[in-house]
Each structure stands twice: as C-alpha cells, then as structure tokens.
Amino acid sequence: MAGSLKDQLLKAGLVNTKQVKKAAHEKRKGQGGGSAPDTGAAQRAQAEKAARDRELNRQRQEEAERKANAAAIRQLIESNRIDKGEGDIPYNFTDGGKISRIYVTSELHAQLVKGTLCLAKLGARHELVRPDVAEKIRARDPSRVIIPAAAAPEAPAADDPYAAYQVPDDLIW
C-alpha cells in the first residue's frame, strides 16, 4: 500500500479516471478563485462573533449590577431593621396581591397604622424599617418596600348611608 489514496481507489475499481480528474478540478477551483468571498464571509463571521461577545458581556454586567444591588438592599434592611419584639398583635398588609400578617407590639402597631414605620421584604421575611430607609430601598427596588397607607381621613360620598357611622382608629381587623 505504497501508492496514494487516488491510486489505491483506481486499483480497487471504486472510482474511474473521469471522477478523479473532476475531483482534482473541484479542489483547484475551491482553493484558487474563492479567496475573495471567503474573506467577506470571514469578516462577517468575525463581526457576528464580536456582536455576540458584546451581548454576553452586557448580560454579565447586568447580572453583576443586579447582585450588587441585592446585596446593598440586604445590608440596608439588616442594619436598619427595627426589632418587632415579642408582639402578639397581628398587623395585616397586602404584599403582591396577597394578604400577609406579622405580629408586633402595640407601640409598633400604632406606628405602622400612622405610617411612621414601613415594611421591607428580606427574602421570605418582612422587616420593619424607618421611612427614610424605605425610600433608599425603594430607589433601588420598588418591589421590596411596603409602605402602609397613612391614616388619612376620607371624605364620605354624598349618598353614603353609613356616613354618620365612623370607623374607630384602633379597630384591628
């Protein structure tokens, strides 16, 4: 088996001389005349690769910023949270369309009702924070802050049959 592959295929009868000449012609045609389109295709491929790399870098940077933002929010909540104590009064609030409950002391409950305390989400927990801290958190991620509606007197409607009956401020539902 000292001959080339072409000679071996000819001896075995797998190809004829016409097929060998045609293959050699195609090989020469592919090497010589196709250099200009290949450079254009190579440039396009290089440009596409650069675009993919830029997009991947942008995604990585966004992910890093999101992680840094989450860490900053966590640090704000943990360093400024107010201890709920051994409260036995439930405070109900809405969080993302669901009604949630935490147990607080009577003083904290009164502050929550007045709007002088806010709730911040830390994972699955809710922590009490001051309104200024809540605004810092809200600037980074509005979905992590629950600001209770301050007790504002509402004007009753003109045709409200229960307008004469006021709801007491200390009512716990």
Q: Rounded to two decimals, what is the model's pTM?
A: 0.55
Lowest mean pLDDT among 23-37, 51-65, 67-81, 143-157: 143-157
For the ranges 3-12, 56-65, 99-108, the maximum mean pLDDT occurs at: 56-65
pLDDT at site 152: 46
Q: Look at residue 27 and tell me if it is in a domain.
A: no
For the chain, the domain total comes to 1
Higher-confidence position of 172 and 105: 105
Distance CA 59, CA 46 (A): 20
pLDDT at site 96: 79
Q: Look at residue 131 and tell me if it is in a domain.
A: yes
pLDDT at site 151: 46
**Structural domain boundaries enclosing 112:** 49-152
Helix (H) / strand (E) containing 113? helix 106-114
- The string of pLDDT tens digits covering residues 15-58 is 888 888 888 888 888 776 545 556 788 899 999 999 999 999 99
**All residues at 6 or more sequence positions from 114 whose CB lies less than 8 Å from its CB, including other chains:** 150, 151
Share of the chain above pLDDT 90, in %: 20
Q: Look at residue 19 and tell me if it is in a domain.
A: no
CA distances 16 to 2, 4, 20, 122, Å, are 20, 15, 7, 78
On the question of pLDDT at 65 being above 90, the answer is: yes
pLDDT at site 1: 53
**All residues at 6 or more sequence positions from 1 whose CB lies less than 8 Å from its CB, including other chains:** 8
Q: Look at residue 34 and tell me if it is in a domain.
A: no
Q: Look at residue 158 and tell me if it is in a domain.
A: no
Distance CA 3, CA 11 (A): 10
On the question of pLDDT at 114 being above 90, the answer is: no
Q: Look at residue 169 and tell me if it is in a domain.
A: no
